Amino acid sequence: MNEIILCKYGEIILKGANRPHFEALLSRELKRRAARHGGFSVRVSQSTVSLEPQSEASDLDGMFESVLTVFGINAAVRATVCEKTPEAILAAAREYLPEQLAGCRTFGVEAKRSDKAFPWKSPEIAARVGGVILEALPRLKVDLEKPDVMIRVEIRDRYACLHGPQKKAAGGIPIGSSGRGVLLLSGGIDSPVAGYMMAKRGMQILPLHFDSFPYTSERAREKVMRLARLISPYTCTRRAAVLSLTEIQEAIRDTCDEDYFTLLLRRFMMHLAERYARENDAGALITGESLGQVASQTTPALAATGGIVSLPVFRPCIGLDKEEIVSLSRRIGTFDTSIEPYEDCCTVFTPRHPKTRPELAKLLAEEGKLDFPALADRAYATLQTVSLF
């Protein structure tokens, strides 16, 4: 049987006059992935993207799994296609559908007749295909309310297709439709989730990691690169950047009030991330901060650290509790790596009593003890770009 992949999108339908722009971005990403799986034609029609294998080398299994991580697609399904004739549809039902119904006890059939020239109306299509299934599998029962498997028949513009249940995909809107954002990527649980969440809203993610070698190890850095790779099926990220904070942290330790260490460090991180963003045409910063989770994530602390930049700071985890963030990290496959016990720059020289309600005047006074521009320039000079693949 000839099989294709049908990709259904949801939110794109609501985009009105801008819809072709979103469809073009979605098609571009699907074509990029199709090239890695042996080649598929990509065609947008009737709020569905169809992917048709171009040769025997086309990897339908691999392409289907890849499609499920493409933002902009709500659901996907493998389907058999045939000519738009009653005879061809019934023949396809006999050959293709018994395998889709293996192991189930009840089934239903739904039909959608987009081509109104087709001689059977939707209820008749469903009834006749259901009859063919019962002939082939007489042990089954029909249940149109809550069947074990719902079979769908679609009479589309160029062909008819039959398939079983759709599989839930990533949802959201296509990557690139919301510009670029720099993700401050640590080795923890929260920041990979934050990157995933902003990519789901169409943002192209540029990961930026801060290390503190030799206080943090090469294994800690590699852990973060693995996290960047793990979210790349969703974010389409191919590279990450790394900056060293070692000199900055030592200067803060040697010069400033211990209670302000974390806030001062966070201000340097935000400043450096903004500089990297502007050099890479990114319009926002992204962090994994969650309100009240740690001392540097209280409302006054967030105001103090975010106030040093003029770009918007997106904090998609801000209203989630730890259990919700952990659940998301498990779903996207980053949790097990995130909890590996390697050092993070934010755990170096951690104050015993960090300020949760910092006084801005006092914070600025402590910052004034440092040669901020020179320290920032030397830190930025350590910038490295790492290829993830």
Provide the b/e sequence for 261-281 (b: ≥16 CB within 10 Å): bbbbbbbbbbbbbbbbbeeee
Domain positions in the chain are 1-80, 85-155, 180-387
pLDDT at 349: 67
Condensed to tens digits (0 to 9), the pLDDT of residues 222-259 reads 999 999 999 999 999 999 999 999 999 999 999 999 88
Segments of the chain with pLDDT less than 50: none
Q: Which residues contact 58 (CB under 8 A, 6 or more apart)?
A: 37, 38, 39, 40
pLDDT at 344: 67
The closest alpha carbon to 171, from 92, 72, 36, 268, belongs to 72
Q: Which residues contact 99 (CB under 8 A, 6 or more apart)?
A: none
CA-CA distances (angstroms) from residue 271 to 88, 136, 237, 261, 288? 64, 67, 23, 16, 17
Q: What CATH class is the domain 180-387?
A: alpha beta
pLDDT at 202: 96
CB 242 within 8 A of CB 209: yes
Pick the CATH number of 1-80 from 3.30.450.40, 3.40.50.1240, 3.40.50.1110, 3.30.70.1510: 3.30.70.1510
Gap between the Cα atoms of 122 and 155, Å rounded: 9
Specify the fold of 85-155: VC0802-like (3.30.2130)
pLDDT at 6: 94
Classify 313 as helix, strand or coil.
strand
Gap between the Cα atoms of 263 and 366, Å rounded: 10
Backbone φ and ψ of 289, nearest 5°? -65, 140
Gap between the Cα atoms of 165 and 6, Å rounded: 12
